[in-house]
């Protein structure tokens, strides 16, 4: 009886530890996106700033106010809660996996921006 209780206790502790690690990894992974992104000269948007708050991503185009970015099924892809509903896809360096740029699909147009300090 004691061995069964011990096994249940150990199993529960391992499950809790795994869930805590997954939550931390999730919060840490969104930090990779944070930073300032600059669009090409002549673009309707000059700067896009990504911030994190309590594990959530927020994006602000120029000074139009920040909007929450909602994770999509496709890796590194988020949808803005702004009225435009733009889709933000982060681009990673193939060797280092560091986020280096993003593309923004907005109103039938796709804009590209480079991360200022990848």
pLDDT tens, residue by residue, 71-86:
999 999 999 999 888 9
Q: Which residue has the tokens 């892809």?
A: 77
pLDDT over threshold 90, residue 25: no
* pTM for this predicted structure: 0.74
- What average pLDDT does the segment 89-97 reach? 94
CB–CB of 19/26 below 8 Å?
no
Model pLDDT, residue 18: 38
pLDDT over threshold 90, residue 37: yes
Q: Is the dihedral of CA 78, 72, 117, 114 positive or negative?
A: negative
Model pLDDT, residue 8: 38
Per-residue confidence band for 117, with pLDDT thresholds at 50, 70 and 90? confident
- What average pLDDT does the segment 83-92 reach? 93
């Amino acid at each position: 009886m004691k061995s069964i209780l011990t096994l249940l206790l150990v199993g529960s502790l391992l499950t809790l530890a795994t869930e805590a690690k997954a939550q931390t990894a999730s919060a840490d992974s969104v930090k990779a996106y944070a930073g300032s992104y600059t669009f090409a000269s002549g673009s309707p948007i000059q700067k896009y700033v990504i911030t994190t708050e309590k594990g959530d991503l927020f994006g602000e185009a120029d000074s139009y106010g920040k909007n929450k970015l909602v994770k999509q099924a496709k890796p590194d892809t988020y949808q803005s809660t702004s009225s435009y509903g733009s889709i933000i896809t982060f681009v990673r360096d193939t060797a280092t996996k560091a986020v280096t740029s993003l593309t923004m699909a907005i109103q039938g147009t796709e804009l590209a921006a480079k991360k200022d300090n990848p």
